[in-house]
Amino acid sequence: MRNYKNSMLVACFMIFVLILVGCSSNTKEVDSSSEGEKSGEESKEKIVLKFATALPKTHPFSVAGEQPFMERVTELTDGQVEWDWYPAEQLGKTADALSLTKDGVTDLAYYSPNYTPSEMPIASALMGMPALFETADEGSFAYYNVSQKSPMLETDYLNNGVRPVFNMATPTYDILTNGKEVKVPGDLKGFTIRSSGGVISEALKFAGANPVQLTTPDIFGAFDKGMIDGVHLYPTVINAFGMKDLITYTTRGLNFTGGVVGFIINEEKFQSLPKNVQDAIIQAGKEVSISAGLADERVNNEFFEEWAKEGKIKIYELNEDEKSQWEKVYKEFNESWLKKQNDDFKKSYEQVIEEVESYRKSN
């Protein structure tokens, strides 16, 4: 009987403990909900984000991309987010943007994946493949969407401690020189030309050129001193960096690869931000990626027209035979390049093709 009573006491005690645990659990759920509401209130406090960019404030991309992005994030957060902006490489070189962001020197940075091919094996090569897209807006639409998907998101960004929040494809590249005319691939033989690196350098080599990798701010000095014979770029950048007077000849409509630029944010910093701020950054990045691509394409065409009126730069548009020669080189290069790539790269390539086709159908 005594043992029975002891057993009953133990059982009653266990039931009492379970009731306490249940009450404690319910209390925690309520507290969690209250804490969430409290965090929502705290999220309205001012947040200052440090943003390091490569370009001067007057550069067309800065005007059409960087500044609208910052303004849109501030607008979407009702003034909650403010910016500590460092343009024109004040915090470091463009080539170091990934490490500067990963290491927390800056919260966000303007970057080009071409400068970090080892860390960004897909992004550094994909959009540099020739003839993958025709206009900056369709390229921007495609690349932004693919950068938010697996495998590129994990491989090239999250694995490096950063997240892509804006990605824009540039207008397709032409060849601009200070004298020599380039009409067909054979004209590039022995030609020393500025390249942004990665697959673009490989494509230029395939076509017969001797590419030299240079960041955009370093081009003027190399071109002015005769270290390079020409540049593989587009008029908007030439004008922005004061190189127009160095140019006497350019192709138009060559469609010989393109570039990608964008903004990355430190992933740890991103995850520490309130949900409303995270959402604002993502929304602003997506909106401005397309609008900046459209603006860059428009401005680039305006510069071509301006140069044509001035008459100081010869603008050459390819005839059908010349186009076919370039297209043959592009096709052969792309086929050979894809054979060397892994399944993740090939998957991202197919995703870009699908996104470009989707954009064309909807426009």
Domains and CATH numbers, the chain: 45-170+260-297 (3.40.190.170), 174-258+311-362 (3.40.190.170)
Q: Would you give the distance in Å from CA 60 to the centre of its chain?
A: 16
Cis peptide, bond prior to residue 151, ω within 30 of zero: yes
Please give the structure tokens belonging to residue 296: 């860059």
- The pLDDT of residue 28 is 35
b/e map 240-270, b = 16+ CB within 10 Å: bbebbebbebbbbebbbbbbbbbbbbbbebb
Question: Alpha helices, DSSP H only, in the chain?
Answer: 2-42, 60-61, 67-76, 97-102, 123-126, 136-147, 152, 199-206, 219-224, 235-240, 267-272, 275-310, 320-339, 343-362
The angle formed by the CA atoms of residues 126, 107 and 55, to the nearest 5 degrees, is: 60
pTM, two decimal places: 0.82
Please give the structure tokens belonging to residue 129: 């493949």
**Burial status of residue 228 (CB atoms within 10 A of its CB: 0-12, 13-18, 19 or more):** buried
- The pLDDT of residue 6 is 44
What CA–CA distances, in Å, run from 95 to 11, 77, 111, 162, 269? 69, 31, 8, 15, 21
Per-residue pLDDT 10s for the chain (363 aa) are 444 344 443 343 333 333 333 433 333 333 333 333 333 444 589 999 999 999 889 887 899 999 999 999 999 999 999 999 999 999 999 999 999 999 999 999 999 998 898 999 999 999 999 999 999 999 999 999 999 999 999 999 999 999 999 999 999 999 999 989 999 999 999 999 999 888 899 999 999 999 999 888 889 999 889 899 999 999 988 988 889 999 999 999 999 999 899 999 999 999 999 999 999 999 999 999 999 999 999 999 999 999 999 999 999 999 999 999 999 999 999 999 999 999 999 999 999 999 999 999 999
Q: What is the DSSP letter of 172?
A: P
Within 8 A by CB and 6+ apart from 129, the residues are 199, 203, 257, 333, 334, 337, 349
For residue 248, the surrounding DSSP H or E stretch is none
For residue 150, the surrounding DSSP H or E stretch is none
Please give the structure tokens belonging to residue 64: 């059409």
Strands 47-52 and 249-252: what pairing? unpaired
What number of other Cβ atoms are within 10 A of residue 90's Cβ? 10
- The pLDDT of residue 43 is 59
Strands 260-266 and 162-169: what pairing? antiparallel
- The pLDDT of residue 34 is 33
CA–CA gap between residue 138 and residue 142 (Å, rounded): 6
- Per the CB < 8 A criterion, the answer to whether 205 and 185 are in contact is no
Which residues lie across from 213 on neighbouring strands? Answer: 195
